[in-house]
A and B are shown apart, each in its own frame.
Chain A
Amino acid sequence: MVAFCDAETGAYRSRRIARHLANCEGCREQLLRIEREKEELSAGAMAPAIDSLQGLAGVRSAIAAWRDGRSWATSELKNRLRWQLETYFGSPALLEVDRPGTQAEELLGRTSEMLDVFLGPNAAEAVRDDCLSGLSFAGPAEETCL
C-alpha cells in the first residue's frame, strides 16, 4: 500500500489495487491513513542550503584543470585504466586500445565498453568507480600532505 501511495506499483498492479480499493472500505481507510501520515510527517520542509554558484565554480575549476591536459588527474586516470586493461585483457590488448595520442576520455570509453562486456555492467561499474575515485581534487592529497 505504501508503494501504491508512492506510485511505484507499476501499471498492472496499480489497476488491480485500484479495482480492489473501489470495493473494499477497509483498504480505502488504510490508504487514507497512510496518505494522512505521510502528509503529517512531511511537515517541516526546508530549502536546500547550498551556494550553487560557488559549488558549480568548484566543479568547473576541476573540469578546466582536467581539460588543460597537464593535471595530475589526466595521467593518473590513464595509468589506472592501463593497469585495469592489462589485468583483465593482457598487454597486447592494452597496446591495441591505448595508442599514442589517445585522450583519457577515449581510453575511459573504450575500457568501459570492454569491461561491460567482459565483467557485466555491475562489476564494470565497480571497476570504473575505482579508476575514477578522487580525481576531482587537485592531486594525491594523501601523498603530498605527509
Chain B
Amino acid sequence: MDRGPGSPLTAGIEQEIVDLYEREAGSVLRYAGALARNQETAHDALQEAFFRFFLCRSAGQQIQSPKGWLFRVAHNYVLDQKKAGSRNEVGVESLRNVPSPAHHPEAGEPVSDLLQELLEIGLSPREIECIRLRTEDLRYEEIAGVLGLQTGTVGALLARAHGKIRKAVRLGIHKNRDLAQTVAGGKRYAY
C-alpha cells in the first residue's frame, strides 16, 4: 500500500488530523494544562498526541474513539513528564537540604491552592480526574480508557464526586465563588 507523501491514504490521514485538531485540540490542551499546571508541557502533550495519532494511523491502526485516544496519550505524556520532573526535583532538594513543599500523599507531587481546595472538600485525585474529563465531554467509556478504569467505576466516582460537591456547596466549605470553574479548569462543568 502506498503510504508516501501525496498518496490518497496519506492525504486522507492528514485531513483526518486537521479535522480532529480543529475539533478536539482545545479540549485536549485545556485538560493537559489542568493536569500539568504548566502550559509548555500541555502544548508538548498536545503535539505528542497528534503526532502519535498520525504514526498509528499511518501504520494502519484503527482508532475507535480518536477523542478518548488523544486524551489518553496526553494524560500519559503529562504523567511521564511529572515523574521525570519530580525525580529531578527530589535530587536537587536533597542536595540543597531544603524541606520539600507540601505533597499530596497519593500523588506524590506539590499541591496547588486550587487542588488543595478540591482535596479539602473531600474529592479524591481520581474523582477530580473523572470530573475534568467529563467536563471535556468524554463519555464514561472514554474516561475509563484514559484512566485505566472500568466504566462502572467511572460512573461511581462521578456520582460520589457529585454528592461531595453538593454537600460542600450546601455547607459552604469551598472558598471559591465558582466551584464549577475551579473543578473544570475554567470550562463548563458538564457532568
Q: Given A48-B30, A52-B21, A63-B51 in contact, is the A109-B43 Cβ separation under 8 Å?
A: no
Instruction: Report Cα–Cα, A50/B191, bound state, in Å.
Output: 23
A52 to B187, Cβ gap below 8 A?
no
A2 to B162, Cβ gap below 8 A?
yes
B51 to A135, Cβ gap below 8 A?
yes
Instruction: Report Cα–Cα, A37/B164, bound state, in Å.
Output: 12
A45 to B51, Cβ gap below 8 A?
no
For A2, the closest partner residue in chain B by CB is B159
Query: DSSP class of B's interface residues: helix, strand, loop or mixed?
Result: helix
A37 to B166, Cβ gap below 8 A?
yes
A52 to B25, Cβ gap below 8 A?
yes
Query: DSSP class of A's interface residues: helix, strand, loop or mixed?
Result: helix
- B residues 145-191 in Cβ contact with A at 8 Å: 155, 158-159, 162, 165-166, 178-181, 183-184, 186-191
Say if the beta carbon of B52 comes within 8 Å of chain A.
yes
A38 to B44, Cβ gap below 8 A?
no
- When distances are taken between beta carbons in the complex, the residues of chain B under 8 Å from A6 are 134, 140, 158, 191
Instruction: Report Cα–Cα, A62/B51, bound state, in Å.
Output: 7
B61 to A44, Cβ gap below 8 A?
no
A1, A37, A77: most-surrounded residue (chain B CB, <10 A): A37
Interface string of A90-106 (1 = CB under 8 A from B): 00000000000001011
How many residues of A are counted as interface, with CB atoms below 8 angstroms from the partner's CB atoms?
43
- A residues 73-98 in Cβ contact with B at 8 Å: 77
- When distances are taken between beta carbons in the complex, the residues of chain A under 8 Å from B179 are 41
- B residues 2-59 in Cβ contact with A at 8 Å: 3, 5, 14, 17-18, 21-22, 25-27, 29-30, 43-44, 46-48, 50-52, 54-56, 58-59
Say if the beta carbon of A31 comes within 8 Å of chain B.
no
Interface pairs (30), CB distance under 8 Å: A1-B159, A2-B158, A2-B159, A6-B140, A34-B162, A38-B191, A41-B165, A41-B180, A42-B188, A43-B178, A44-B184, A45-B187, A46-B181, A48-B26, A48-B187, A50-B26, A55-B21, A55-B29, A56-B18, A58-B47, A59-B51, A62-B47, A67-B5, A105-B3, A106-B3, A109-B60, A109-B61, A132-B52, A133-B77, A137-B44
